């Protein structure tokens, strides 16, 4: 397993609650679980600390951060601001070849939506926005957005990319694409901000709903801390074996 794979597994585990908030993330134990040396785990923890998903304290080592709705909302607010700025630049700089490629990506997204293929739609959605970021030619903005996209992807995988969202995304993408083709920088920026805001609202609603459902399930089943640890261990084992 490569370092990016370890990072993604850990990111998904922290976001989903597989690794409980504030629980220790011991390098030796994780290396054994993932079947890798210490180096990929150490690098993964470093990356996730930069994303705010891991905290490190002297004499205590690395621990999983708590991913709360407020934490996610703050990240998505910054994402929305930068996304609008980068999309504005893209509208000013986009070439015909870049716009043709973006149209092809959008066609792939719509095909994935037609098949109700959530995995492919998530990938092509990121590809769509990544192509816009490339048009903008703003490396710092792209770095910020790419880092946040990794977290957003983990959240969607955890809390669910619902089929009914496809219609809204398709409509938003088509409007953004039309504004880019017209080199309408103000319009493109406003549409990108509205698109990101809608995604934020849907994601936070799903996040709160799923966490309330899981909490209710725990109360009904009367699960204590020991059973919760066992559940997380079983989930991690299943992930590693898949």
pLDDT tens for residues 118-144? 889 888 999 999 999 999 999 999 888
Q: How far is Cα 105 from Cα 109, in angstroms, rounded to an integer? A: 6
Q: How far is Cα 158 from Cα 142, in angstroms, rounded to an integer? A: 24
Q: Which helix (H) or strand (E) holds 73?
A: helix 69-93
Which pLDDT belongs to residue 214? Answer: 63
220 backbone dihedrals φ, ψ, rounded to 5°: -65, -40
Six token digits for residue 185? 């920088």
Which pLDDT belongs to residue 161? Answer: 58
Gyration radius (Cα) of the chain, Å: 19
Say which DSSP state 242 is in.
-
In this prediction the pTM is 0.78
Residue-wise pLDDT for 2-23, tens only, equals 767 899 999 989 988 889 899 9
Full pLDDT tens readout for the chain, 242 residues: 776 789 999 998 998 888 989 999 999 999 999 999 999 999 999 999 988 999 998 878 899 999 888 988 998 999 999 999 999 999 999 999 999 999 999 999 999 999 989 889 888 999 999 999 999 999 999 888 988 888 888 887 776 556 557 889 999 999 999 999 999 999 999 999 999 999 899 888 888 887 777 666 655 554 444 444 444 444 454 444 44
Domains of the chain: 3-66 (1.10.10.10), 69-208 (1.20.120.530)
Which pLDDT belongs to residue 233? Answer: 47
Which pLDDT belongs to residue 232? Answer: 47
**How far from the centroid of its chain's Cα atoms is residue 125's Cα?**
11
Which pLDDT belongs to residue 227? Answer: 41
């Amino acid at each position: 397993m490569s370092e990016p794979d370890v990072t993604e597994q850990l990111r998904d585990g922290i976001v989903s609650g597989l690794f409980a908030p504030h629980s220790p993330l011991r390098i030796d134990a994780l290396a054994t679980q993932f079947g890798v040396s210490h180096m990929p785990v150490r690098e993964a923890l470093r990356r996730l600390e930069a994303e705010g998903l891991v905290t490190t304290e002297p004499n205590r080592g690395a621990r999983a951060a708590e991913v709360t709705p407020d934490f996610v909302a703050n990240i998505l607010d910054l994402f929305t601001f930068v996304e609008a700025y980068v999309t504005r630049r893209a509208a000013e700089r986009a070439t015909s070849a870049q716009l043709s490629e973006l149209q092809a990506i959008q066609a792939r997204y719509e095909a994935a939506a037609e098949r109700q293929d959530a995995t492919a739609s998530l990938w092509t959605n990121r590809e769509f926005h990544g192509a816009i970021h490339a048009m903008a030619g703003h490396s710092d903005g792209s770095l910020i957005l790419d880092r946040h996209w990794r977290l957003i992807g983990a959240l969607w995988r955890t809390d669910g990319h619902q089929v009914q969202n496809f219609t809204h995304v398709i409509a938003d993408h088509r409007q953004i694409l039309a504004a880019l083709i017209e080199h309408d920088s103000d319009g493109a920026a406003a549409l990108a901000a509205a698109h990101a805001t809608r995604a934020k609202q849907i994601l936070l609603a799903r996040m709160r709903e799923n966490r309330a459902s899981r909490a209710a399930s725990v109360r009904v089943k009367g699960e204590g801390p020991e059973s919760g640890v066992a559940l997380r261990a079983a989930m991690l084992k299943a992930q590693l074996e898949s």
